[in-house]
């Protein structure tokens, strides 16, 4: 059996290619006009003739456009492959799924590591400060480019969930439903604090050079430490105990500053692996955008959402202490007070924040049935979100 046949038998979308969409400029939330802007994106499935079956997947901090399938000569599938494909939660026999790398990213979309056409050198810190809303406005340009008037749904976890809320608040007439997962209306002081530790570790690296490290040694140690801190928050105490315990890697000298414990080795591996695929300046810009985000814009979210016809599914996880359940319940409360049709589920998982990537069966079950219900109105009545 060849590799492609094996992929198809596993209900994968198979081999995929990343595409690029470039537009002249984007007016940022700061008031600055920035461009040109390129967004890397992938699509899975087929857009129907009514263009009513499109689902936008938005990624978390370290994600990219490659959400499903395999790239040529690569062995690892996309980051949400378990959810996207024939018969899966996002059934590509039924839905047209889109995923783009965010503005400010480093996997094909315009970001700090991109060349500034005015100088011919990477933007570095000349890249403008961006917001979650800016990322979503760029995504909207892509959706418009694809000829899609209204998305069936926009879905994402963590920072992706912030983007979902931005769509819900700023472009309610462009979406029929929204699925924010393990996210929040705004970051708490604790969430900001963890991100600040990551940023400081990068900027304290001697190789950072005020962001001008391109063409030389990158601030790999600082970025690795930032990722190590992040991974601690993504897991739960129970999942770490079950995965590592206090197991040591093997006999050796004691009281040396080596990775004696399995959990130490895991964190170092994650940190070292991350620097191979991510840009430190992108990490700074994206985490700052997350911290600055407030879906309510300083107002009462329920007042902003009042009158919205968008259907909402909110999902959280009991062991998630980075984005705890009370923050998802605040989203639900605001939606309910606004009269928005909302479903809420807190999944009993031990995986911590990582559960939105790992709890495939129960999460997929919820999403599959929610989307089926939302799409029913169009399939039966032909009335698409009116």
- DSSP assignment of 61-75, as one string? TT--S--SSB-TT--
Per the rule left: phi > 0, alpha: psi between -120 and 50, beta: everything else, 182 is left
Domain topology for 192-289: Rna Polymerase Sigma Factor; Chain: A (1.10.1740)
CB contact at 8 A, 179 and 154: yes
- Is 113 marked active-site? no
d(CA 71, CA 99): 15
Q: pLDDT (tens digit, 9 = 90+) per residue, 5-27?
A: 333 446 899 999 999 999 999 99
372-to-113, 135, 376, 377, 380 alpha-carbon distances in Å: 40, 28, 6, 9, 12
Residue 297 tokens, joined: 């814009």
- The least confident of 112-126, 181-195, 233-247 is 233-247
Q: Is the pLDDT of residue 249 over 90?
A: no
**Domain spanning 3-187+294-381: CATH superfamily:** Alpha/Beta hydrolase fold, catalytic domain (3.40.50.1820)
Q: pLDDT (tens digit, 9 = 90+) per residue, 36-74?
A: 999 999 999 999 999 999 999 999 999 999 999 999 988
Per-residue burial over 133-166, b if 16 or more Cβ lie within 10 Å, else e, is bbbbbbbbbbbeebebebbbbbbbbbbbbbbbbb
Output the average pLDDT for the chain: 93
Q: Count other C-beta atoms under 10 Å from residue 355's C-beta.
A: 27
Annotated domain spans of the chain:
3-187+294-381, 192-289
CB contact at 8 A, 279 and 111: yes
What's the residue count for the chain? 386
Confidence of residue 386 (pLDDT cuts 50, 70, 90): low
- Is 320 marked active-site? yes
Q: Which of these, 275, 258, 101, 257, lies nearest to 201 by C-alpha position? A: 275
- Is 158 marked active-site? yes
Q: pLDDT (tens digit, 9 = 90+) per residue, 132-180?
A: 999 999 999 999 999 999 999 999 999 999 999 999 999 999 999 999 9
Active-site residue, from 131, 158, 177, 308: 158
Quote the DSSP letter at residue 110.
-
Active-site residue, from 64, 279, 320, 354: 320
């Amino acid at each position: 059996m060849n590799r492609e046949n094996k992929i198809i038998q596993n209900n994968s979308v198979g081999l995929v290619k990343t595409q690029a969409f470039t537009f002249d400029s984007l007016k940022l939330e700061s008031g600055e006009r920035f461009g040109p802007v390129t967004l890397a994106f992938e699509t899975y499935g087929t857009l129907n003739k009514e263009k009513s079956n499109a689902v936008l997947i938005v990624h978390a901090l370290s994600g990219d456009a490659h959400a499903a399938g395999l790239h040529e000569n690569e062995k690892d599938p996309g980051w949400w492959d378990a959810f996207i494909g024939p018969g899966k939660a996002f059934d590509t026999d039924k839905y047209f799924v889109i995923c783009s790398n965010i503005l400010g990213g480093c996997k094909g979309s315009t970001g700090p590591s991109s060349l500034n056409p005015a100088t011919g050198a990477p933007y570095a810190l000349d890249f403008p400060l961006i917001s979650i809303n800016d990322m979503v406005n760029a995504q909207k340009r892509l959706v418009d480019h694809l000829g899609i008037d209204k998305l069936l749904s926009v879905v994402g976890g963590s920072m992706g969930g912030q983007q979902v809320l931005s769509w819900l608040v700023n472009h309610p007439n462009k979406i029929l439903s929204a699925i924010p997962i393990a996210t929040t209306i705004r970051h708490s002081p604790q969430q900001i604090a963890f991100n600040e530790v990551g940023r400081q570790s990068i900027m304290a690296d001697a190789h950072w050079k005020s962001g001008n490290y391109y063409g030389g040694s990158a601030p790999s140690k600082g970025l690795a430490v930032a990722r190590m801190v992040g991974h601690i928050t993504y897991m739960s105490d129970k999942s770490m105990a079950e995965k590592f315990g206090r197991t040591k890697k093997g006999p050796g000298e004691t009281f040396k500053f080596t990775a004696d414990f399995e959990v130490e080795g895991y964190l170092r591996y994650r940190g070292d692996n991350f620097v191979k695929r991510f840009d430190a300046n992108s990490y700074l810009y994206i985490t700052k955008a997350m911290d600055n985000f407030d879906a309510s814009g300083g107002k009462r979210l329920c007042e902003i959402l009042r009158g919205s016809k968008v259907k909402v599914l909110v999902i959280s996880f009991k062991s998630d202490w980075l984005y705890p359940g009370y923050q998802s319940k605040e989203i639900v409360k605001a939606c309910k007070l606004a009269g928005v049709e909302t479903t809420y589920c807190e999944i009993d998982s031990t995986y911590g924040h990582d559960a939105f990537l790992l709890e495939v069966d129960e999460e997929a079950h919820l999403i599959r049935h929610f989307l089926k219900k939302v799409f029913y109105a169009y399939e039966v009545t032909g009335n698409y979100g009116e």
